[in-house]
Chain A
Amino acid sequence: MSASLEKGINALKEQVDSSVASFFSSCVHCGMCAEACLFYTETGEPDRTPITKTEPLRRIWFTEYTLIGRLMKMFGLAKTVDEQLLADWETLVYDNCTLCGRCSMVCPVGNDITEMIRRTREGMAVAGHAPDGLIGATRRAVTIGSPMGVKVPALMAQISHIEKDSGIKIPVDVEGADYMLLLSSMEIMNFPEFIESIGKIFAKAGASWTISTDAFEATNSGIQIGVSDIAAELVQRIVDAAEKLKVKTVISPECGHAYMAIRWDGPNLIGKPFDFKVRHILEVLDEFRKEGRLKLTGKETRKLTYHDPCQIARRGGVIEEPRNLINLFADNFVEMPDNGKMNWCCGAGGGVSSIERADDGRLNVFKRKKAQLDAIHVDGIVSACSNCRIHIEDGLEEYHMDIPVFSLTETIAEHLEEN
């Protein structure tokens, strides 16, 4: 056995706990998870069935953690994990799963299949069977501090542009601020309007906030590729920065997995609870709304809908907040069929957008989102994840659909009451 395979197997062993064992013990091979997965519904390929993606982890559970499996392994009767299996499973586990969590919602025996696939990635990555695109992004995140290679000077340049153009002060490294804003590289480079919007909204709301130059990157490639050590290191940087600046709340920006990484996985990765709160930007804005600190003007008469980013809604718990906020400015809001916790993924989450060879696949599965949109004929889509936004724009272009996609935070900033 090669050293990397052994590491992979050990990593898989570490992933087996009582929840995983309950899940594998309960699967009856009913196939319902396939129908919940856009990588199956849009391709009709049976190997995309969510539960089959967990096969490497299943074999480890069976041969190491069940009496009958151990006996069968002893007599050479059980299937074990080898290089070939991991090589064969790489595209299933990474290119054909966005960790969207829809399968976990329909499984009749209650298996959290998404969590099982996420854990399978831990073994795949360590054994060297992760896609190049994700490896590159992860390496850049560790060495440079951003998966897209954005360094502090680039951030500062964007900030000074914003300050010059808008006349708004963007606070950097302010000790004692109430909120510390994290950003995804995508927002810094492609959607700097997001930073400007935060500046406007927080100024109006009278909230003190800051960006830390020690840790401004919200995304966490370690989560996507499935290497907990790296994920923990990236989380620790944020924790250190938040403690150094003594902020009360860290804000996760409009990015799905970033929220999962810092809000739900973060304390578990570093092994201790945070001394500060973590909130998604939509949760913070909804708080402002409740406190009457968010005053908007002018209603949108265009027909709008909201795309729930999987990690923020179904996997994250932020479902009501965006709707409360949209109601502040939308007169004609419609839900997609299957919204909220049952929304369909855009097709590019969970690291899929970083995998070049998966480009055709993600555009193909966008047909699911297209079908949802075709059912409601809207003039605009509001969402709260830059990755969803970029991919939805790609998909709309691919299928010749002319619908603009907006950031919820930015749209709120546009509707702020003037003095």
Chain B
Amino acid sequence: MSEIEFLSWVRGPGFQIATIIFVAGIIIRLGEILLLGRKTNLAEAKGSEMRSGMRTIASRMLPPDMETFKRSTFTITAGYIFHIGLFVTIFLFAPHILLIRDIIGFGWPSLPTQIVDAIAVVSIIALLAILVHRMTDKVLRHLSGPQDYIVWFVTIAPLLTGYLAFHRLVGSPVTMLALHILSVELLMVLFPFTKLMHTFTLFLARWYNGAISGYRGVES
């Protein structure tokens, strides 16, 4: 397979397969969660489930109380950096917006390339630091299994390959671009079946947390 053929495969059939698995997988996962259902609370309510649930969805996006922040400073800071970094590089990078416009028919303004570039570098550094933290912190070592490292790899791979492809740093630019697209497809295929699903399920989890707590009159 030539590098052009490789590129057209990852852009064509490869992308279609990955998209089908990604979308179908997410629907299956959300379905198997929501179909389980949940019993209605029969205790006299002290607060609204819906309001508290929605509130917690938003509040857990914000930094926690000082004590919690002090105790988990690295995790929280590095977490914010790479999540914001991923969001910016995926959704505010001009070539990505062009691709999205191609697929769904509309786009939005991009950030200047230099800014996205800098953010990508910061995100890569944050993810490397997160890996070192996971491998050295005793709680994280205790919690971590192969999936945690696989997920780390498929998250950093698109950032790295994208950066290398854009700057034409290593090898042929065409192969690098093909590898970049392939790494995204790998991410998409693993997404529904790993902890990457938290991207969607955290809205459910936070809602339930807020609902359980808010029903009893406590903001969580």
Please list the residues of chain A having a beta carbon within 8 angstroms of any beta carbon in chain B.
16-23, 25-32, 34-36, 40-41, 44, 46-47, 49, 51-52, 65-68, 104-112, 115, 263-268, 271-274, 277-278, 313-317, 319, 337-338, 341-342
Contact = CB atoms under 8 A, between A and B. Distances in A.
B110 interface: no
Most-contacted residue by chain A among B56, B141, B204, B215 (CB, 10 A) = B204
Interface size classification for chain B: 35 or more
Given A23-B205, A66-B32, A105-B220, A271 B42 contact: yes
10 contacts: A18-B204, A19-B204, A22-B205, A25-B205, A32-B72, A65-B32, A66-B32, A110-B208, A316-B218, A337-B67
Given A41-B71, A44-B138, 19 more contacts: A17-B39, A20-B36, A21-B32, A21-B36, A25-B33, A25-B197, A26-B198, A28-B195, A29-B143, A29-B144, A32-B75, A106-B68, A108-B76, A110-B60, A110-B206, A110-B207, A263-B43, A264-B216, A341-B218
B87 interface: no
A108 B142 contact: no
Nearest to A113: B209
Contacts of B162: none
Given A35-B71, A46-B142, A65-B36, A25 B212 contact: no
Would you call the interface of chain B mostly helix, strand, loop, or mixed?
helix
A66 B44 CA distance: 33
Interface of B: 28-29, 32-39, 41-44, 46-47, 56-57, 60, 64-65, 67-68, 71-72, 75-76, 79, 137-144, 148, 193, 195, 197-198, 201-202, 204-210, 212-213, 215-220
A67 B35 CA distance: 13
Nearest to A21: B33
Given A18-B38, A52-B142, A31 B75 contact: yes
A282 to B, nearest CB: 13
Contacts of A16: 36
Given A17-B39, A32-B68, A110-B207, A25 B218 contact: no
Contacts of B213: 104, 112
Given A21-B33, A111-B205, A112-B209, A317 B217 contact: yes
A29 B42 contact: no
A108 B60 contact: yes
Contacts of B144: 29
A105 B137 CA distance: 22
Most-contacted residue by chain B among A27, A109, A278, A337 (CB, 10 A) = A109
Contact of B36 (A18, A49, A108, A313): A18
A106 B76 CA distance: 11
Most-contacted residue by chain A among B32, B46, B139, B217 (CB, 10 A) = B139
A368 B177 CA distance: 53
Nearest to A342: B65
A100 B195 CA distance: 26
